[in-house]
Structure formats: structure tokens, C-alpha cells
Structure 1
Amino acid sequence: MATYAIGDLQGCFTPFMALLRQIDFNPGRDTLWLTGDLVNRGPESLQVLRWVFDKQDCVQTVLGNHDLHLLAVSEGYGKVHADDTIQPILDAAESKVLLDWLRCQPLMIYEQGYAMVHAGLLPEWSIKKALRLAEEVEDELSGKHHRQFLGKLYGNKPVRWQDDLKGMDRLRLIVNAMTRMRFINQDGELDLSYKGELDGAPPHLLPWFEAATRRSVDTPIICGHWSALGLHLDDDVLAIDSGCLWGGSLTAVRLEDRAVFSLPCQAYREISR
């Protein structure tokens, strides 16, 4: 029995299957943790979503920003971009079943001494507090008013956490931190303007996981979202979006011993031609 955490799939079903063969994944024995962004931009989003839905007994996933984008678009909200690849999901015969299942997935999980979230946690949040905040969003998504919630989700403000935030300001900041964050500024404010590599970051920004006051530092956090960061493994952060979609690699980490398994996606495309 083993638990494997795998980075953002984004509709890259064929490399995903190849990586599962590489690690000899057995759905009757092993468990997968997926960092979110199951869909979009890659060519096989429907196949990914179908497979994860079918294997939900042995797979746990958190919601990523692209998953939330799919849910919003399915309800008539948000702008469909030219490079989106979600239309086959919307057109599928089982679309409602898949989307109803997806919107009931968690924003964050905590098991086996690990926490997993798509992007990151704000410095003020302990693991216990972050789980409570994630539940606030999960209750909205799984509840009868989920359409109204999705319709008001888009936006970059507020940028600073306060315990007395209420309504959509509170919920939007929770979602933006957990599914979109890469950097914060020196005041601990969320900054969504820069999405690139660490070396090119403006000097007033720092990665969310380097905040000196971060209250979640004692728990290793598994995350994805930041393909420009690449594979980044520290004692307390396992950032495993290694850019499969962009010709990088797809990475799995076995949580029991932190063994790393990587499939070069460019090499995979060359072999499969």
C-alpha cells in the first residue's frame, strides 16, 4: 500500500496513464492524491475527469482554479478563453454527474500528517484554521446556492486577510489564496500580478511559503499550481507542478518515503508519435 501525490494534470491524460504504469499504481491497493487543476488547457480533460470520477474510491483531489473555472462556465459565468479545452466536458452525456461530483470536492485535505491544497495558505492561517476556512467555501459549492456563489467568485480583491471579513469578500480571498496564490508582498498581502519564476520576481514579493510568520510551517504542505517554480521539495513544502502541460514533466511523490517519480512529458510525446 502506498500513497502517491501527483501534480497538476490539466487534461494531460495520456502522460498521466504512463506515469501510473511507471509507479505500478494499483487502485485496489494504493491511493492517489491529486493537487487539483484536473482539467483545461490539455487535450484530454474529459478523459481525466472521467477516470478520476470512476476511481474516486482510491483518489482524493482538491479543487484548483481551472476546476473552479469549469464549474463557473458550466453555470454561465466567467469568460471562456481561446485556449480552454473544457467544451467536451460540457457536451458530454454525463456532464451533470461529473460536474456535480467535482463541485463537491474539497478545497483542502489533511491526512497522514500532510496537508494538500492547490496553491497555498496565507501566513496567518494555521492548518486547523485553514481547514475551517476551506469548509466555508466547500459548504457554498455543495449547497443549494452554489450558482450564486460561482457568479460572484471572480475578482482579485480583497488582498489582505482579516478575521472579520464577511460574505463574498471573505470567501473570495479564501479561494484566491488556496487556488491562485504564488506570491505575497512584504505586508503579507496576496499579489496575483506576477506568475513567473523566482529569479524574475519583483524584489517586494516573496513566495507564500517563505513568509517568516507562516503559521502552517510545522506541517508539510503538498501543492501544485506554480509550473514556473518547477519541482520544489522542502521539509515543509512539496510543490509538485513540474509543468507537464508545457513540455516539462509529470511528477509523483510517494508520501511514505518521499520517493520521487517523474515522467518527462516532451520525451513521452516523442515516444508516442
Structure 2
Amino acid sequence: MNKFQEMDENIWVIGDVHGCCSSLEKLINKNEIFNNNYYKLWFAGDIVNRGPNSLKTILTLMNLDDKCLCVLGNHDIHLLSVASGISKLSKKDSFDDILNSKDYKHIIDWLRFRPIAHFQYNHLLVHAGVVPQWDINKTLSLASEIESLLRSNNWRKTLKKIYGDKPNFWRDKYRGNDRIRLITSVFTRIRLCTKDGHMDFTHKSGKGYHPNWLMPWFQVPNRKTSNINIIFGHWSNLGLLITPNIICLDTGCVWGGKLTAMRLSDRKLIQIQCDKIKK
């Protein structure tokens, strides 16, 4: 028996929802998910924005209570930034229903208390990825730094520090704004790196359609988390990827692709075909 089949929870990991609540409802109402009393849903972040029902989506997750575990994605952090007045609502944003909700303050507080990373059963759940210089202990420690800042009374000041593409290479000596910005970029934005681990934020293509001096973060040589199963989303151009220790579940739901759930114990998949959102 696979050791993950001995888990006392029926865990399903779900890719980027992006406010596509109708697809999410179809997915989580599948009988396979509710086949015992110990189910739990892990979400890989970007639960809001771009899709038509950000408010209903986030309320659905909140109503799941302790059945739901969700790491923060870049779009979720963008919502926090707009809510705090740090960033402006753009024409592409579709979470004004949250901003206008009577439950607005409660929703924002719930969101900023979500984890940046979650590690259990030798599986690490993050939104985007990790840099090769971090082992699992360093990864969880640095995630905890950002989580503590977002949960503090001064969380709005933290959001002022996270935007920008530099620095893009990890150094233990970083402190202050550079440290906060780099850590947040790793967990919520990383896709491609150079072979020595410098992050590139200008290219988003997957499946080899990027400059040959770049590679997916998980292919960088000597990555210190190579012994850990890592599950992430964020990269719809990469799409569904399941290898022995790397799993991408962003299958482009909001772009007319699919919303994907994977059972942790045996990697069984459930997918819902989604309608492309017209903007």
C-alpha cells in the first residue's frame, strides 16, 4: 500500500479557482470527494480575481471552515493590497463584489490569515514555487516570516514593501524591504530561473517556449527541496504536470480550461471543464 493511502484524511488539492465559483461547486460536489467524514480541501492559491464570482468563491471556502486549507496566491495578495489602499483596482480585476460586500472586513481578515506555505505528509503546498537555495526548513521558516507580518496590526505597511522585481536572487543577508519582497515573490510569482537560481519575471510560457538560458524553477540543478513533493498552481501555460515529486494543478480554469482536483493519497484526478470568461 502507498504510504499516503494510510492518511486519516481524504485530502484533495485544487488548482487556481480565480473566482469561478460555479466550476468549484461542481467539483467539490463530486461523490468521490465526500466519500467519508474526513475529507479536506487544499487550495493552491489565487482563489479570487479574473473570474465572475470572487465573493461567492471566497465565502464558499470560508464556510468550509476547518475542511479548507488555502495558501495565498499573487491575486489574493493583490486583493489585500487594493483593500488596504496600497494598489488600485484595475480594469482586469473582478473582486469589486468583495470590496462592496457587507462582510468585507471579515473577508479581508480571513484572507490575510491564510498560510503562505503548508507542509504535511511530505507534501509542500505553495502557490508558485521555491528557489533552489532553500531546503524545506528554510522554506517554512521564511513563509512564517511573511505570514506573521500579514497577520500583524501593521499588515498594510508590509504590503507596501512587496512589489518589484528586484532583488531576484536569494541571499541570507537580505533584511528589511528586500527580504520581504524577495520572499513574497518566490512563493507567489516564481516560474522561470537561470541555472544558478536568478528568478525571471518577464516570461510566462511553459513547455519549452522560453529562452534557452531559462528553465522552470523545479528543474534548476541542485535544488535543495528535490526530496520533497511540491504542489503548486500559478502557471496555466505550463498546465497539468504530475511527476514523482512535482505537481502543477493550474489548468487554466478562468481561460476556458479545466478546474482540477487531485487526491493526495493516490493522485487520482477530477476535472471540470470551464467556460472561458469574457472580458
Shorter-chain TM-score range = over 0.9
- Partner of 2:29, secondary structure, is helix
- 1:80 Cα shift? 2.0
User: Is 1:99 aligned to 2:114, yes or no?
Assistant: no
Separation of aligned partners in 1, 2:103 and 2:138: 36
Q: Deviations over 1:47-76 (max 9, x none)?
A: 011011111210100000000000000010
Q: Which amino acid letter does the alignment assign opposite residue 126 of structure 2?
A: V
Q: Which amino acid aligns with 2:221?
A: A
Question: Which of 47, 59, 75 is equivalent to 2:84?
Answer: 75
How far the C-alpha of 1:114 sits from its partner, in A, is: 0.7
Partner of 1:187: 196
**Aligned-partner SS, 2:72:** coil
2:30 to 22, 28, 33: 22
For 1:14, the aligned partner's letter is S
Shift of 1:198: 2.6
| Preserved CA contact (<8 Å) 2:161 2:180 | no
CA distance in 2, matches of 1:5, 1:225: 14
| Deviation digits for residues 1-33 of structure 1 (CA, Å, limit 9, x no counterpart) | 510000000000000111112354339431000
2:31 and 2:166 map into 1 onto residues whose CA distance is 41
Asked if 1:6 corresponds to 2:14, the answer is yes
Q: Secondary structure at the match of 2:118?
A: strand
Alpha-carbon distance between aligned partners in 2 of 1:23 and 1:11, rounded to the nearest angstrom? 22
Q: In the comparison of the two structures, how many residue pairs are matched?
A: 268
Contact 2:162 2:185 in 1 (8 A): no
Identity, in percent, stands at 39
Higher helix share: 1
State the distance in 2 between where 1:57 and 1:193 align.
Answer: 37
- The secondary structure found in structure 2 opposite 1:225 is coil
How far the C-alpha of 1:162 sits from its partner, in A, is 0.3
Instruction: Say if 2:254 and 2:275, in contact at 8 Å, map to a contact too.
Output: no
Could you tell me how far apart the structure 2 residues matched to 1:164 and 1:9 are? 36
Specify which of 116, 139, 154 is matched with residue 145 of structure 1: 154
C-alpha distance in 1 between matches for 2:275 and 2:55: 22
Query: Matched residue of 2:66: which SS?
Result: coil
Taking structure 1 as the reference length, the TM-score comes to 0.95
CA distance in 2, matches of 1:192, 1:111: 29
Correspondence list, 1:47-66, <5 A: 47-66=56-75
Deviation by residue 1:234-265 (Cα, 9 ceiling, x = unmatched): 11111000111101111111001111111121
Whether the 8 Å contact between 2:192 and 2:199 is mirrored in structure 1 is yes
Contact 1:3 1:32 (C-alpha < 8 Å) held by counterparts: yes
State the TM-score, normalizing by the size of structure 2. 0.93
Q: Which amino acid in the other structure matches residue 209 of structure 1?
A: F
Gapped regions of structure 1 (runs ≥ 5): none
Note the aligned Cα RMSD (angstroms).
1.4
Quick one: which of 229, 232, 254 aligns to 2:263?
A: 254
- Label 1:233 to 1:86 Cα distance change in 2 as closer, same or farther (>3 A): same
Any conservation in 2 of the 1:78–1:154 contact (CA below 8 Å)?
no
Matches within 5 A, 1:1-273: 1-26=9-34, 28-266=37-275
Structure 1 moving runs of 4+ over 6 Å: none
CA contact (8 A) 1:28 1:58 kept: no
Q: Which amino acid aligns with 1:17?
A: E
* Alpha-carbon distance change, 79 to 185 in structure 1, aligned in 2, over 3 angstroms: farther
Question: Alpha carbons of 1:28 and 1:98: their partners in 2 closer, same or farther (altered >3 Å)?
Answer: farther
- AA aligned to 1:261 is I
CA contact (8 A) 2:196 2:220 kept: no
- Taking the aligned partners of 1:252 and 1:23, their CA distance within structure 2 comes to 13
SS where residue 263 of structure 1 aligns?
A: strand
**Deviation digits for residues 203-238 of structure 1, max 9, x if unmatched?**
110000001110001110010000000000011111
> What secondary structure, in the 3-state scheme, does the structure 1 residue paired with 2:178 have?
helix
User: For 1:102 and 1:266, how far apart are their aligned partners in 2?
Assistant: 26
Paired with 2:29 and 2:148, the residues of 1 have a C-alpha distance of: 36
